[in-house]
């Protein structure tokens, strides 16, 4: 087969459900995507779910519900859902595998489609939407990369998935739903309450892209794109006049005034099925020859036979002459191909950290790997890294023997295709991201790539730090530190970790970013579902394997296979403690990975990072069988156990020889050495958060309805309590500088730690995400309003606010006068804690 499929590694499963796994297609928004084969030989694309999504029971419920509905969708223009298992330890979804280019790739390689082809394409997508909406689903992420183009019509993929994700609590921290350049205004405001009319708006956006090659909204960054979407008319430059009425109807701001998919089909039918049109091969007649050639290559019909794991046809090796221009073969420059500039897709940009210049004249690297197409990577580029070139294919590309007239296909002699345009397109370059992100302020037309360094951004993005072209002394770099941001290729989730001047971010892999410059030092070669950074080492697990790297340079120190799928990691005392599915606790040496001991009695109803085994002092603590157990860290010998019941307890907190924890409605204080109960406090409502001690002998907890309790750490006596709004998170109360901070809904409250008097409250425009971070008299908090807020700790007044292109994920981290935060726009932000995006420091 001609498509690119990565060979399986030792980390990948060999079977998923009833399917044999053949290779790895890439990574989607939910997790890894594999090529599979049924017992009858049918090929499928299998999407696996990321660990933190799998641990969320609300996600599993909605995932099962949406998949059940998606399996009822039977339209011709959709990719059928073949099988799924929402209850598996790693939930998965199998869909029909379609070896075809996405609309994004087709337009990038072949240019905008003629009006006839655009109508034919949109009519097929409208029919797909009819089938999807009839099943009670809303797509929510209809974009060029989610439309595959075959010779007999488009295929819409990934329907029924975004809804299951958008309603889970993890959307606040882990999953981006929707693409700003193609979403509807109502979806930008609240993705959970959209109707089928939102998909119609996206359909109009697709028509603009297909006919012009650019998105209708393309700001300098995702947040500007959303601003334009909510405030401005779409950019219809280059749109053929005959298509404008349909586009404007689909993209009306008022959802109720948009046509339905059935009405769109009725309007397009006279143009597609006029008398004498399409008597023989109606669907194939509409696409231009260069597009049909691309489709044929992706199906393996041209360019020879290439085995799985090899490259697709059309690649040019480094230093080798390109293919000769001829019938049906565009003329290419002799140099290695460069990616074409794609339209802005907000959070969907790919290859940002590789520093790839984008110019006209060759294929582009697309966004997230389409779930059903291994061949979505462009010719000449490695789909795994976005850079190339790759070895040449085994065989010539057959010439076309037909030509396009008026957007239709007619028999003719060999006709040469015009060469692809070679003039460079000016782009905006941001630090850590050489991918164009739209119009606005543009760089010079002749910016040349520099090996090993990102491009310098032009004026207009000045708050983003310009990466130096040569290494700078540490002192000099620190003195000139300026805020920066770094864009990932995939979703960013969790809370950043800081160690030895490096910021560690999880985005499928672990990425190590230099705090001073914002440049990436390294990333892991494997997906990491659980991560712990300590003592100059990065410990990570991709599921069944545990590996450790040097935190300075990413060099692998050791790797081992665990007995089970890892869901949590903790480190301490020179050991790495892994919690594995099914009740396993496995302890390995942090030095060489050798196994120290393991037990298998840690079964609990919900296995997640917050309740996984942990290291405190010289003991490992874990829950299992309704008991909290303490084992010697070195030998694994039991020290004591204490009955806590079936309620999932919090991680314990150790302070001055006493272990504090919450379990159900109880706050417990246990002796570290013996496990004997020192005291117990019974609250009226369930407590989710672990206790937070301060240096004045007080313990703070918050219950489900938002009541903050202050207990005497020595006796458990209630000192005071205060009420906030209802809260459902498990983030702990923050005690700092005599204040107690707690997030509740969209508001953060500050209470006097001594008497519980409310000092101030601050309300954001959306629910808070993660726990606040406080340092140096400042409080930093993220919100679902896509903003990072920084407040004065004493007064609660807003000092500065940064709007990003997505919800802040996890909790911000304050460190040495800087604050770091991750966003669903796939960016990592490093800001001056006191001044935000200020370009100099006091």
Residue 449 to residue 764: CA distance in whole angstroms: 41
Q: Give the other-Cβ count within 10 Å of 475's Cβ.
A: 8
29-36, Cβ contacts within 8 angstroms, sequence gap of 24 or more: 29/165, 29/175, 29/176, 29/368, 29/490, 29/491, 30/161, 30/165, 30/175, 31/90, 32/527, 33/369, 33/371, 35/5, 35/97, 35/308, 35/374, 36/94, 36/97
| Residue 144, Cβ density class (10 Å: 0-12 exposed, 13-18 middle, ≥19 buried) | buried
Alpha-carbon gap, residue 185 to 587, rounded angstroms: 50
CA–CA dist 742, 736 (Å, integer): 11
User: Which residue's entry shows tokens 């929402």?
Assistant: 86
Q: Sheet containing 734-736: which strands, arranged edge to edge? A: 734-736, 739-744, 747-752, 758-763
Residues 6+ apart with CB under 8 A from 627: 641, 642, 643, 644
What are the beta bridge partners of residue 329? 326
The reply to whether 832 belongs to the active site is no
What is the DSSP-derived secondary structure letter of residue 430? Answer: B
Distance CA 664, CA 649 (A): 7
Strands 787-792 and 739-744 come out as: unpaired
Write the DSSP symbol of residue 664: T
Closest CA to 232 of 180, 179, 194: 180
Question: Catalytic residue among 56, 83, 85, 141, which?
Answer: 141
Using alpha carbons, list the distances in angstroms from residue 397 to 228, 314, 329, 602: 43, 8, 8, 59
Residue 559 near residue 521 (C-beta atoms within 8 A): no
Of 576, 629, 569, 635, nearest in space to 603 by CA: 629
Q: What distance in Å separates the CA atoms of residue 682 and residue 616, rounded to the nearest whole number?
A: 25
Radius of gyration of the chain (CA): 28
* Long-range contact set of residues 404-413: C-beta below 8 Å, sequence gap at least 24: 404/114, 404/288, 404/289, 406/114, 406/116, 407/113, 407/114, 407/115, 407/116, 407/117, 407/286, 407/288, 408/116, 408/277, 408/285, 408/286, 409/284, 409/285, 409/286, 409/287, 409/288, 409/289, 409/292
Active-site residue set: 141
């Amino acid at each position: 087969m001609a498509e690119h499929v990565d060979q399986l590694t030792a980390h990948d499963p060999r079977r998923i459900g009833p399917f044999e796994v053949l290779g790895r297609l890439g990574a989607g928004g939910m997790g890894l995507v594999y090529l599979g084969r049924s017992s009858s030989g049918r090929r499928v694309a299998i999407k696996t779910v990321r660990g933190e999504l799998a641990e969320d029971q609300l996600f599993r419920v909605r995932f099962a519900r949406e998949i059940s509905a998606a399996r009822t969708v039977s339209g011709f223009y959709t990719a059928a859902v073949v099988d799924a298992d929402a209850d598996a330890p790693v939930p998965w979804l199998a869909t029909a595998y379609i070896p075809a280019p996405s609309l994004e790739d087709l337009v990038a390689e072949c240019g905008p489609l003629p009006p006839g082809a655009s109508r034919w394409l949109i009519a097929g997508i409208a029919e797909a939407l009819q089938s999807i909406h009839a099943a009670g689903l809303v797509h929510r992420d209809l974009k060029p990369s989610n439309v595959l183009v075959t010779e007999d019509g488009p295929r819409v993929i990934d329907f029924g998935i975004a809804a299951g994700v958008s309603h889970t609590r993890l959307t606040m921290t882990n999953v981006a739903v929707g693409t700003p350049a193609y979403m509807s205004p109502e979806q930008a405001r609240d993705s959970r309450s959209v109707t089928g009319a939102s998909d119609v708006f996206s359909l109009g956006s697709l028509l603009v892209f297909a006919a012009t090659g650019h998105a209708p909204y393309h700001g300098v960054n995702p947040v500007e794109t959303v601003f334009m979407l909510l405030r401005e008319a779409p950019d219809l430059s280059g749109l053929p006049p005959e298509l404008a009425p349909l586009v404007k109807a689909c993209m009306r701001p008022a959802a109720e005034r948009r046509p339905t998919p059935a009405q769109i089909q009725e309007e397009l039918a006279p143009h597609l099925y006029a008398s004498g049109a399409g008597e023989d091969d109606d669907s194939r007649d509409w696409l231009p020859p260069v597009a049909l050639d691309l489709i044929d290559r992706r199906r393996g019909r041209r360019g020879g036979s290439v085995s799985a794991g090899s490259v697709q046809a059309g690649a040019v090796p480094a230093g080798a002459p390109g293919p000769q221009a001829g019938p049906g073969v565009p003329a290419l420059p002799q140099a290695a191909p460069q990616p074409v500039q794609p339209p802005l897709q907000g959070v969907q940009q790919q290859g940002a950290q590789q520093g790839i210049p984008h110019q006209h004249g060759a294929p582009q690297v697309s966004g997230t790997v389409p779930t059903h197409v291994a061949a979505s990577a462009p010719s000449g580029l490695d789909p795994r890294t976005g850079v190339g070139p790759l070895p040449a294919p085994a065989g010539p590309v057959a010439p076309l023997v037909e030509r396009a007239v008026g957007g239709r296909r007619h028999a003719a002699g060999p006709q040469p295709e015009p060469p692809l345009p070679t003039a460079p397109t000016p782009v905006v370059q941001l630090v850590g991201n050489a991918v164009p992100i739209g119009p606005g302020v543009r760089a010079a037309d002749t910016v040349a790539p520099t090996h090993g360094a990102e491009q310098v951004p032009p004026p207009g993005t000045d708050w983003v730090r310009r990466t130096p072209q040569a290494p700078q002394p540490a002192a000099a770099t620190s003195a000139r530190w300026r805020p920066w941001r770094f864009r990932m290729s995939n979703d960013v989730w969790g809370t950043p970790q800081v160690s030895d001047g490096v910021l560690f971010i999880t985005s499928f892999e672990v990425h190590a970013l230099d705090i001073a410059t914002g440049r990436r030092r390294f990333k892991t070669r494997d997906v990491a579902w659980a991560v712990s950074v300590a003592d100059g080492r990065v410990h990570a697990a991709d599921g069944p394997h545990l590996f450790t790297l040097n935190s300075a340079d990413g060099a692998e120190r050791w790797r081992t296979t665990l007995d089970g799928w890892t869901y949590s990691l903790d480190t301490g005392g020179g050991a790495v403690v892994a919690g594995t599915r099914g009740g396993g606790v496995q302890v390995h040496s942090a030095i060489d990975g050798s196994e120290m001991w393991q037990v298998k009695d840690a079964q609990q109803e919900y296995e997640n990072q917050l309740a996984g085994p942990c290291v405190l002092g010289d003991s490992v603590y874990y829950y299992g069988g309704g008991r909290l157990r303490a084992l010697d860290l070195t030998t694994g010998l039991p020290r004591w156990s204490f009955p806590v019941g079936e309620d999932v307890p919090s991680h314990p907190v150790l302070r001055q020889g006493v272990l504090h924890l919450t379990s159900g409605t109880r706050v417990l204080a246990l002796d570290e050495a013996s496990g004997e109960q020192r005291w117990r406090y019974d609250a009226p409502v369930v407590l989710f958060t672990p206790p937070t001690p301060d240096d004045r002998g007080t313990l703070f907890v918050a219950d489900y309805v938002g009541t903050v309790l202050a207990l005497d750490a020595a006796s458990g006596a209630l000192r005071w309590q205060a009420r906030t709004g209802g809260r459902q998170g498990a983030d702990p109360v923050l005690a700092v500088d005599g204040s107690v901070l707690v997030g509740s809904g969209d508001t953060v409250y500050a209470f006097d730690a001594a008497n519980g008097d409310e000092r101030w409250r601050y309300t954001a425009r959306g629910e808070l995400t993660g726990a606040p971070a406080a340092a140096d008299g400042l409080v930093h908090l993220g919100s679902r309003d896509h903003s990072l807020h920084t407040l004065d700790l004493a007064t609660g007044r807003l000092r500065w606010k940064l709007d990003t292109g997505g919800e802040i994920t996890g909790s911000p981290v304050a460190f040495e006068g800087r604050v770091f935060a991750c966003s669903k726009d796939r960016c990592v932000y490093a800001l001056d804690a006191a001044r935000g995006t200020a370009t100099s420091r006091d």
